[in-house]
Amino acid sequence: MSKTTDIRTAVEAELKFDPLVDDADVHVVNMNGDVALNGTVPSYPQYLAAAAATQRVSGVKNVFNHLQVVLPDADFRDDAMLTTAANNALAQNVTVPAGVEAAASDGNLTLTGTVDFGVERAAAEQAVAGLAGVRDQIEISYPDDPAEVDLHVQEALARSALVAGDSDVKVATDGSVITLTGHVRTWAEHDAVIGAAWMARGVVDVDDKLQITG
């Protein structure tokens, strides 16, 4: 059996194994470790969980999540109800800064406001991710002078238990945008590097150019 088939079969098995994913209408395509997910899932959390499950499989280098969220009739709610539910969820999360608000249009949810850290953005996204029909966005504010961001991120990588001591990952900054280059062994190591970059104050975007060696 070819490695291409092995990876596709392994991804299909992982999706079936994951209790958070209904894989009945998910179709997996693999091209040398670049895996595309096609088809439909019944909720936005399953859209996220399917991508996360795929990343856990050995040999997967990139995931292209083309899944569509097709809500069951029972999960539909009008825009006013969805907006209220989302803003209540944001208000109840102490990590989400004041001023971050949600608005729904045709069942799609948009988050607007300002945050200082990537972890605050992630908290806002996670606060509403479980609501039916969510598609979220958020704007990030940042300090006028995000000085030495690259140094702070490199130091964070050196402290990380998941990043090898001989890692060749490089961090470069252009204003408030971080570019990451180099090689990582696994998706877990990849996520640790990305997470460290988002922890730095003033980061508005992370340009991920890391290569997963497997």
Does 83 lie in the same domain as 54? no
Residue among 66, 63, 9, 13 at smallest CA distance from 33: 63
Q: Pick from 49, 69, 89: which residue ends a domain?
A: 69
If you count them, how many residues does the chain have?
Answer: 214
What does the block give as tokens for 129? 């991710």
Does 82 lie in the same domain as 65? no
Q: Compute how many other C-beta atoms are within 10 angstroms of the C-beta atom of residue 35.
A: 24
Q: How would you list the strands of the sheet with 170-174, edge to edge?
A: 170-174, 177-184, 205-212
Q: Which residue positions in the chain have pLDDT lower than 50?
A: 1, 136
pLDDT at 135: 55
Q: Does a structural domain hold residue 49? A: yes
Cα torsion 160, 48, 36, 58: sign: positive
- Structural domain boundaries, residue 29: 3-69
Question: Do 60 and 187 touch, CB atoms closer than 8 A?
Answer: yes
Which CATH number goes with the domain that contains 34?
3.30.1340.30
Q: Does a structural domain hold residue 81? A: yes
First-last CA distance in the chain: 19
